Amino acid sequence: MRHDHVISAKQLTRGDIESVLDRARDIAADPSAYASRHDGALLGLLFFEPSTRTKMSFSAAIKRLGGGVVDMGPVDASSVKKGESLADTVRVIEGYADALVLRHPSEGSAKMAAEYVDVPLINAGDGAGQHPTQTLLDIYTIRENAGLDDLSIGIMGDLKYGRTVHSLAHALTNFETTQHFVSPDTLALPRSVRYDLHEEGASVKEHTDLEHILPDLDVLYVTRIQRERFPDESEYRAVAGQYQIDAGTLGAVADDLVVMHPLPRVDEIASDVDNTDHARYFQQAHNGVPVRMALLDQLLEGEQ
Ligand code: NCD
């Protein structure tokens, strides 16, 4: 990887993505070969927003490479509560760790924080902005299940506030894919993302209805409505509960349709989908460990 900091999927070339994915595949095939690779390395975890998968899989990844974590813990128990700035917090914690993982509610926060530190800083979600490591595991999952070129990918749900969507959409422009975006008008892609996709020459189609494109899809990536980002709860309620799928919805799809979701889900995928051959979202979450091991391996290699 050419970049010390991993801030946005926009910085990732096809070569960058494939080198992480190839290494992740190697790791998944023989994790023990990497068990002492970064003995004693420490990963600083700074999570200013809730997280289960991202935080725990980063933690598992560094431990499986022989390292450990230093965790800022809940915001309420840290000096952030005393009014410490993000810039000061990262400058302090870079002295305790070999790389940092930051999740923060403000868009742009990871880019700003990276300007203050020399160790690699990984954006684990900056508000409604970007979530590039989720994208790496998403693309790994797509590649393992459906290959990567000549694909039709449906991306459905909260396209406005969903940072996993913004990152995935950018990264997919490196591959021969058609992206079908499905959402209510009020949650359509932000203009800036649409503009970037256009500049990249991406094949993009936007829809308000899943039904008529579902039979053409190879992958359906479902997302949660990002309730916490709505300025007004009534706006959330107006769209909540739309764009759900269940086993019945998938009745007429291709046998090999791959259904993904970054998780957590609320009600957008009914539990009767879990036992169908289409469901890949738990596998997708598990892929977070080898993919984050591969990324950390590359970033820490650069540090030595
Ligand atoms: C996502 C996130 O935090 O953006 N979760 C994750 O990291 N897997 C998706 C979400 O919260 O809806």
Q: What is the pLDDT along the chain (304 residues), one digit of tens a residue?
A: 446 899 999 999 999 999 999 999 999 999 999 999 999 999 999 999 999 999 999 999 999 999 999 999 999 888 888 889 999 999 999 999 999 999 999 999 999 999 999 999 999 999 999 999 999 999 999 999 999 989 999 999 999 999 999 999 999 999 999 999 999 999 999 999 999 999 999 999 999 999 999 999 999 999 999 999 999 999 999 999 889 999 999 998 989 999 999 999 999 999 999 999 999 999 999 999 999 999 999 999 966 5
Our count of domains for the chain comes to: 2
Q: Which atom of ligand 1 is nearest to the CA of 224?
A: 12
176 and 264 in a single domain? The answer is yes
Q: Is 193 inside a domain boundary?
A: yes
Q: How far is the CA of 33 from the centre of ligand 1 (A)?
A: 30
Q: Is 164 inside a domain boundary?
A: yes
138 and 268 in a single domain? The answer is yes
pLDDT in tens, 89-138: 999 999 999 999 999 999 999 999 999 999 999 999 999 999 999 999 99
Locate tokens 């499986």: which residue?
64
pLDDT in tens, 175-195: 999 999 999 999 999 999 999
What's the CATH number where 107 sits? Answer: 3.40.50.1370
In single-letter form, the type of residue at position 95 comes to: G
220 and 260 in a single domain? The answer is yes
Tell me whether residue 82 is one of the annotated catalytic residues.
yes
Predicted TM-score (pTM) of this structure = 0.97
168 and 280 in a single domain? The answer is yes
- From the candidates 5, 54, 178, 261, give the one annotated as an active-site residue: 54
Tell me whether residue 5 is one of the annotated catalytic residues.
no
CB 216 within 8 A of CB 152: yes
Tell me whether residue 131 is one of the annotated catalytic residues.
yes
Q: Which residues, in sequence order, are bridge partners of residue 47?
A: 103
Q: How far is the CA of 58 from the centre of ligand 1 (A)?
A: 14
b/e sequence 48-57, b meaning 16+ C-beta within 10 Å: bbebebbbeb
- From the candidates 5, 64, 131, 163, give the one annotated as an active-site residue: 131
Q: How far apart are CA 64 and CA 150, in angstroms?
A: 35
